[in-house]
Structure 1
């Protein structure tokens, strides 16, 4: 809550709060600020305080007033001239997104979600988080794995040179065995390690596409994927995602009209819905790929939460037109940034060249440590414990969500729930920020922004009744 102090008036505090959200991209360019009356009610201050705060934001060049429409975040916000040091910090903070600052698109809000996750909105459990809580991931075997890879002789051997372009051979062998358990047959020579699964997706896109190419992506879908493809200059073709897979009629029409070069899919525990691909849909997707000559990138980021027998396109296709992408940030060590792709033999060199042009090689220390975790069965046992804990958390979160008057737009499975709140979650998310909660509103998961009453929740971080009580209260006020 805003509190008047000797050093800062209520007007200054309110202006500073909005200014920080704008600079952190928690309020995207083009977003409308609450009306003066509504903001006064939300913040518990007088309308004149709000008017004064908005005037300060206008003076700073952060917002603009549109006649008879209200106040909006400026499409391009100048760096405040506070000091040379402050300006330098802001440039470093925003450098990754400056090129997109003028677009009123969901990708800007995708980076806002990531920034909120990294900065830490508050010490409360965050429902919009995309990873498990730190206490869930704590293990004793990670440090053991690193120590085993850090003998003086071994450390010198792989630290003083760039290492293998495709990644540590021991890890690629371990991954080959692991994939075989999913019925994905990939020799170590077909596997390339990357800096997280996100880089694997990026390498595949850069290797197979050129600016202006059409790409089919499931919708709702991963906000970061829309943002990444948009930044590369690709033309996104959103394919509605259903319970059994993508809308095949829409895909077929896109193929006839636009000749897309790529289809990006999450077959198992789709983000955000949790849907899993059916065998019949998988078969028809592969038929379309062969008929219209496009590749498929299958993102299996959530494989550690899913049953091994779940339908995967790469297993049915035998890595002919498909590229399998995986990683370990969700289940083991987010900051290790170890990901990988398994690809058709004829594409390996092209993908490897692209990796070398972007990052040269990947760090061998953590790859060797991860190989030990897999070979010793530590990762498998850890994943089993996480799944059991997640099952309990999911049951509690579902009960609390239903008790709060929400409904589920998809069956609650996996890590995420696709929840209907009954109100615009873009508006609700700004209200919840005031209470210290970062939401993932439904509009984030669409290629083009549109109001939505849906939001994605993380089952591991929504077991707290206080969150749902807050949501109920603010939803009632929102009407």
Structure 2
């Protein structure tokens, strides 16, 4: 019998070994999903995950309508790039499989409902584009730093947050993930140790693994990262970079307190750490909220923001604020990798931010989020589920599962009922065996009766 925690990996490893040893030669058709599920005594979803891992590692290729076949491009087992790619893809295999399909209920969604963020605040600007508003766009290469008026607006916004930064110290990117990618490419090398929140932002984990770095998780509690844990792990590992999300943390919903922020910066100063601070929900949070970049004034903090979570996931615009030398390095890396970001989209975002409707949009969105949070906590209480933190910021609740409920298996069962869940395992760098499982729940979807019915049945049988 395969162990519960690694069924897909054991199946993938068994098939990979057969391919390496020549038992399954090039062009061999693998068992169908149904036949493999029967042979290994697992669900079809487990077989899908195992086959996805084999595809990511170059062992198998899918043929539309014909099944899965042994690839003609055999991976070298000592190829470090191939290994890193496989590790990065493995982190998000299950969520990727789910995100590529249509789900009736998206309880594990990372973004708010489209109607919350893509309403009237965007419509007038998109109409202007459709009608070819004169002067909106210019057909020419522009500064790789990004559209200057938007950087000027961001400079004023950050000044309200007590982060003094000039427009030339702001680099526009294709969202926060692109910003992380530039920082990782510029400053980290294979074999480097990197500190991150745990639980934390799993797409960042994938990027760091792809770069060949070694991740070390820093415990997160209600007040932010544990400063003592950060100091201990930074000192023992020799890490120079710490990636953290201070406010409306994904996935726990916790926010950094002022006292904890001072503690973190003292550790960073003493151990010469560079901190990459993710402020994805910055526009939803008070300007006076505790931010490391405000206390540090970008001496050893690199500050990352985005509009994907607040305005629209389709408008891929983010930014980095940092010291002049860091921005100079990241501009060069941006030019080498993508040449430039979209001046068209940056103009749209600039127009929205300078429209009087944007602040009204933020006020309305904050109200929707707060109402949804209160409703979600009440609904979970009725089910006997208690969030790790009830008074959260942002869209997420981090919910502990009762003993006997495995987050990955629960996610698969929910998928069969067209309910998308985000299992806690993918957000944890180094989950301790025996620790309870968790789910990240989006407050906007907790009230769906289908979710309540699903959890009620699962909890009754656990």
Contact 2:105 2:418 in 1 (8 A): no
The answer on whether the counterparts of 2:136 and 2:347 sit within 8 Å (CA) in structure 1 is no
Aligned partner of 2:438 in structure 1 is 454
**Which residue matches 2:345?**
366
One of 132, 137, 157 as aligned partner of 2:112: 132
Deviation at 1:316, TM superposition (A): 0.3
Matches within 5 A, 1:172-183: 172-183=151-162
Instruction: Tell me the secondary structure at the aligned position of residue 171 of structure 1.
Output: helix
Query: Which residue does 1:288 correspond to in 2?
Result: 267
Query: Whole-Å Cα distance in 2 between the matches of residues 287 and 336 of structure 1?
Result: 37
**Cα separation, partners in 2 of 1:76 and 1:86, compared to 1, 3 Å:** closer
Within 5 Å, which residues of 2 pair with 1:302-321? 302-321=281-300
Whether the 8 Å contact between 2:188 and 2:211 is mirrored in structure 1 is: no
Q: What is the aligned partner in structure 1 of residue 124 from structure 2?
A: 144
Work out which of the residue numbers 151, 154, 165 in structure 1 matches 2:135: 154
In the TM superposition, residue 129 of structure 1 has moved relative to its aligned partner by: 0.3
Summarize the Cα distance change of 1:472–1:152 in structure 2 as closer, same or farther, 3 Å threshold. Answer: closer
Q: Whole-Å Cα distance in 2 between the matches of residues 81 and 256 of structure 1?
A: 46
Q: 1:100 to 1:432 in 2, by over 3 A?
A: farther
Question: Which residue of the partner structure matches residue 381 of structure 2?
Answer: 402
Report what 1:21 is aligned to.
Answer: none
CA drift at 1:366: 1.2
In structure 1, C-alpha distance between the alignment counterparts of 2:136 and 2:173, rounded to whole Å: 20
1:322 aligns with 2:304: no
2:78 matched residue in structure 1? none
Partner residue in 2 for 1:431: 413
**CA 1:244–1:58: 2 relative to 1, 3 Å:** same
Query: Of residues 182, 186, 195 in structure 1, which corresponds to 2:174?
Result: 195
Alpha-carbon separation, structure 2, partners of 1:323 and 1:370: 22
Secondary structure of the equivalent of 1:461? coil
TM-score, normalization: structure 2?
0.82
C-alpha change, 1:102 and 1:228, in structure 2 (3 Å) is closer
Aligned counterpart, 1:221:
200
Is structure 2 residue 397 aligned with structure 1 residue 417? yes
Residues 39-66 of structure 1, C-alpha deviations (whole Å, 9 max, x = no match): xxxxxxxxxxxxxxx9744867998689
Segment of structure 1 superposing worse, 347-356 or 168-177: 347-356
Structure 1 unaligned segments of length 5 or more: list them: 1-26, 34-53, 92-96
Q: Following the alignment from structure 2 to structure 1, what is the Cα–Cα distance between the partners of residues 322 and 339?
A: 19
Per-residue CA deviations over 1:142-166 (Å, capped at 9, x if unaligned) read 2422455675763662x3x331110
**Contact 2:217-2:430 at 8 Å conserved across structures:** no
Distance 1:80 1:256 in 2: 44
Deviations 1:428-451 (A, max 9, x none): 111111111111111111113566
Instruction: Work out whether 1:463 is the aligned partner of 2:442.
Output: no
Q: How does 1:39-188 map to 2 (within 5 A)?
A: 56-57=32-33, 73=50, 76-77=54-55, 78-79=59-60, 82=63, 102-103=86-87, 108-117=90-99, 119-122=100-103, 124-146=104-126, 148=128, 151=132, 154=135, 157=138, 159=139, 161-188=140-167
Partners in 2 of 1:296 and 1:28 — Cα distance?
Answer: 37
C-alpha contact (below 8 Å) 2:91/2:206 kept by paired residues: no
- Alpha-carbon distance in structure 2 between the residues aligned to 1:28 and 1:176: 50
Once the 2 structures are TM-superposed, how far is the Cα of residue 84 of structure 1 from its aligned partner? 9.2
Q: TM-score, normalised on structure 1?
A: 0.79
Say whether the 8 Å CA contact 1:146–1:365 is kept in structure 2. Answer: no
- SS of the residue corresponding to residue 320 of structure 2 reads strand
Deviations 1:441-477 (A, max 9, x none): 1111111356642111000122212211112213333
- Match status 1:444 vs 2:435: no
Aligned counterpart, 2:15: none
